[in-house]
Amino acid sequence: MITLNSQDAIHKAWLYRVLLAILDNINLQDLYFKGGTCASMAGFLDRFSVDLDFDYVGKQKDLLKTRYELENIFKDLGLEVKDASTKVPQFFLKYPSKGFSARNTLKIDISFPPPKANIYEPIRLVDIDRIVICQNVATMFANKLVAILDRYDKNNSIAGRDIYDIHHFFMNAYSYNKEVIIERTGLDLITFFKKLSKFIDEKVTETILSQDLNPLIPYKRFNKLRKVLKRETLMFLDDEILRLKDSK
């Protein structure tokens, strides 16, 4: 159970309100749930997550219809579209907030085309009492591993939550979908993990981890973890490289 302050609880309520509206729309059945919020709701992750992420598995010609359906949902819910991408269905939504400095923006991000190697399965999301088609945990893990380098290549940014998430997945001995990594990066697994380990070692700082994770994890838990998070993540990656070499 993740304990939330009142501001985060309001954000979570809006997350669930939007998610349920999307799930209830019969014209949006080509949206498969993924990402940090999905992983948290499915019990694979133990942190707060603030966005909604989906894979669009339908036909490209129907993508515009999907955008229209989403925009109608936002309008019906009284949400203001603060910003939206013209290239892919990505929205930044503003919901009512009484506090001037309170979080009041919700991001909806839709990926198309998703990796062909992605695997999906029906997962029961207890918080909303629904069975939802989601990426399975191995697919989530693989995409999260790739996301660290991909985020930096595309946006020159590093998200501390990515490091936390792969550390958590390793700690829980989850398997990763190897084919997703190979498809998305074009690298063999050993080369990929070496590149990822080097990147984290050189680029990820405690400041980056603290700035990104402080709003998402209770302070006491993060304070215990922050000094070992990077070191243990590198240990997991190095162990995986050795395991892959031994399996050849």
Mean pLDDT score, 92-117: 86
Residue 102 binned pLDDT confidence (cut-offs 50, 70, 90): low
> So what's the pLDDT on residue 140?
98
Tokens describing residue 39: 């992983």
* pLDDT at res. 99: 62
What is the C-alpha separation between 115 and 61, in angstroms, rounded?
A: 18
Which residues make up the CATH 3.10.450.620 domain(s) of the chain?
Answer: 1-135
Strand order across the beta sheet in which 120-125 lies:
80-84, 90-94, 105-111, 52-56, 31-34, 130-135, 120-125
Other C-beta atoms closer than 10 Å to the C-beta of 87 total 6
Provide, rounded to the nearest whole percent, the portion of the chain with pLDDT above 90: 79
Of 85-99, 101-115, 125-139, where does mean pLDDT reach its minimum?
A: 85-99
Q: Which residues contact 190 (CB under 8 A, 6 or more apart)?
A: 241, 244, 245
Return the pLDDT at 86: 72
Question: What tens digit of pLDDT does each residue of 192-233 get?
Answer: 999 999 999 999 998 999 888 887 887 788 888 888 999 999
Per-residue pLDDT at 37: 96
70-83 residue pLDDT tens: 999 999 999 999 88
Q: What is the pLDDT of residues 167-192, one digit of tens each?
A: 999 999 999 999 999 999 999 999 99
Written as one letter, the residue type at 80 is: E
Exposure string (b/e) for 153-189, b if CB count within 10 Å is 16 or more? eeeeebbbbbbbbbbbbbeeebebbebbbbebbebeb
**CA nearest to 23, candidates 131, 114, 105:** 131
pLDDT tier at 85 (50, 70, 90 boundaries)?
A: confident
In the DSSP assignment, the letter for residue 3 is -
d(CA 111, CA 234): 28
What per-residue confidence (pLDDT) applies to 20?
Answer: 98
Identify the pLDDT of residue 1: 46
Helix axes 189-203, 137-155, angle to 10 degrees: 60
Q: With CA atoms as reference, report the closest residue to 45 among 33, 53, 37.
A: 37
In this structure, the number of other CB atoms found within 10 A of the CB of residue 134 comes to 25
Close Cβ partners of 117 (under 8 Å, ≥ 6 residues apart): 139, 142, 177, 179, 180, 182, 183
What share of the chain has pLDDT > 70, as a percent? 96
Quick check: 100 pLDDT over 60?
Answer: no
Domain 1-135 fold is Nuclear Transport Factor 2; Chain: A, (3.10.450)
Q: Taking all residues of the chain, what is their mean pLDDT, rounded to a whole number?
A: 92
Beta bridge mates, 111: 55
